[in-house]
Every structure is written in C-alpha cells, then in structure tokens.
Structure 1
Amino acid sequence: MAEDFATNVGFLLTDSARLLRKRFDQRARGIGVTRPQWRVLFSVARFPGINQARLAEMLEVEPITLCRLIDRMEQAGMVRRDADPADRRARQLFITEAGKPLLDKLKNTACNLHTEIMGDFSREELQSLTGMLTRIRDKLSEQGGDIDERRVNG
C-alpha cells in the first residue's frame, strides 16, 4: 500500500505543494510576511479590485477571517479598500504604494526558490511539466473544482 502513495500523482502533487509552501513560508517570514498575508498580496496583485467575498472564496477562508486579516494588512499599509462602484456594500482590494515593495520582495523570493528547485530541469522537462500541470488544473476547473477566475472581477 505504501508503494501506491510513492507513485500516486495526486499524493505527489499535494506533498510537493506542501513542501513548497513550507519553504516559501520560511523565507517570507524573513521579510516579515505570514502565509495568509502573502496569499492575499499575490491574489490582490493578480486580481486588482477583487472584492473581499470573492477573495475569501478563492482563498478558501471564512469571510470574517479574511476581513480581520485585511483589517490588519490595511493598518500596516499593505492594502487598501475602496468602495465597489457596482455594489455599495462591497469593498474592492488594491495593493498600496507602500505594499508594492513588499510584493516585489515576495516575487523575488518566489523566483529564487523556483530557480533553486527547478534549476536541474531542462527547458523541455519544465515545458512538459508545466503543460501537464496546466491540463490537470484545467480539467479540475472544468469539473467544478474551483471558482471561475473569469468572474473574479466582474
């Protein structure tokens, strides 16, 4: 039975992602950012103007938990909330000018980690891996495994 896990694609993906997050967390802490904070920063950078409800859904956290985190990040000057012109009750999230250098440090950290981990792979191996992972993600998304990113901002 243990041999099944050693070659099971789902287990390998999950375990690799866990180890990658752990390694990135260690480095992010070195620049003063927690995992929940970097997840918010990367998501808001990817989807500027995303509202809190959609971000909570995307990050798979309770809206009240995200609200408290955003409160702290806003007080720290990392993000700002603006009124959503389409919905007075909602708030859109943006990275502040003060938060951009922090995001740049996180991106640089991610880039360095990627180079460390993937440095021994050939260009062809990386293209093949990227292609296969994209197919897996797309297949899971088609089957309702994630929110539709096309509706994140509208």
Structure 2
Amino acid sequence: MAEKELAELLFLVGKRLRHGYLQRLVPLGLTPGQTRALRALADAEGPLRMVRLADELRIVPRSLTPVVDALEEAGLVRREVDPANRRSTLLVITPEGRELAERARDARRQAGEELFAVLSREQREQLGELLTLVDGQFR
C-alpha cells in the first residue's frame, strides 16, 4: 500500500469518527471546541487560568473567549479572579460542566466503538498500538 493511500485512508476514517462524534454532541448542546475546553477543565487538578487553557488547547487566548462565554452562559464553567494575580482569570468547572464533560467523553467513546466494531478486539488493540507509536514521534 502506498503511503499516500494510507494517509488518505486514515483521513477518511478520522472524518467518519468525527461525524459520528458530532452527531452525538448535538443532543448535549455542545460544539467540539466547547467539549475540548470542558474536557481539559475536567481533567485539570484545579481551576485553570484562561491563558493556560488556551495553551492546553493549542489556540490563541482570544479564540477561547467566545467558547468560555458560551460555557459560562450555560452554567458549565464560572470565571473567578485569581487570588494570586488579580489581573488573571481562573476558570472553574461546575458540577453540571463536569457531568456534561463525562457525557461528551462517553459520546466520543461510543462513536469509536461503533466505527471500530468491524474489528476484532485483537485488531483494535493492534491498531491502538500502531497509532500510539505514530503519535508518539510528535510528542
């Protein structure tokens, strides 16, 4: 198999996975960007500064503002003044936000399970190992 064909195949599989995931996010009322932000906040050991969350998401801070605005309006996060630096804003995930982050994580898991159901357990494990190896070269 030519390298281009493998890259194209991976692209198409990724596209199918994203489509299945997006379909499961719609009932939750979340966009992929909001979901990524919630997941990062849920996985953090405590509140994050906006600048730190933007770094984690690999976006510029000004791109994060509308995402946080929407999450705050929905009651999923709240902004607090950082007591260590009053010019900084901390983002705190609410219990509702934490629960929705978990539901979104389940949605992603379900999309993956549906897509890879055609593979045996051993094949899924092998594919996971191979993709981890490829991904590891960029870390």
Asked if TM exceeds 0.5, the reply is: yes
Return closer, same or farther for 1:110/1:98 CA change in 2, 3 Å cut-off.
same
Q: Quote the sequence identity (%).
A: 31
Map of 1:118 onto structure 2 = 116
Q: How far apart, CA to CA, are the structure 1 residues paired with 2:88 and 2:135? A: 29
TM-score by length of 1: 0.73
Map of 1:44 onto structure 2 = 41
Map of 1:92 onto structure 2 = 90
TM-score by length of 2: 0.79
Map of 2:4 onto structure 1 = 5
Over aligned residues, Cα RMSD in angstroms? 2.3
Superposed, 1:3-82 pairs within 5 Å as 5-8=4-7, 11-48=8-45, 49-82=47-80
Return closer, same or farther for 1:93/1:17 CA change in 2, 3 Å cut-off.
farther
Instruction: Classify the secondary structure of the residue corresponding to 1:119.
Output: helix
Instruction: Classify the secondary structure of the residue corresponding to 2:79.
Output: strand
Deviations 1:62-116 (A, max 9, x none): 2112012202211210112334455443333332012233223212222322221
> Structure 2: which amino acid aligns with 1:45?
A
Please, which moves more after superposition, 91-100 or 61-70?
Answer: 91-100
> Structure 1: which amino acid aligns with 2:30?
V
Q: How far apart, CA to CA, are the structure 1 residues paired with 2:13 and 2:90? A: 33
> Structure 1: which amino acid aligns with 2:20?
R
Deviations 1:112-138 (A, max 9, x none): 222211223222222222222222222
Which blocks of at least 5 consecutive residues in structure 1 are unaligned?
142-154
Higher relative contact order (CA 8 A, sep 6+): 2
Return closer, same or farther for 1:97/1:18 CA change in 2, 3 Å cut-off.
same
Return closer, same or farther for 1:94/1:26 CA change in 2, 3 Å cut-off.
same
Instruction: Classify the secondary structure of the residue corresponding to 2:48.
Output: coil
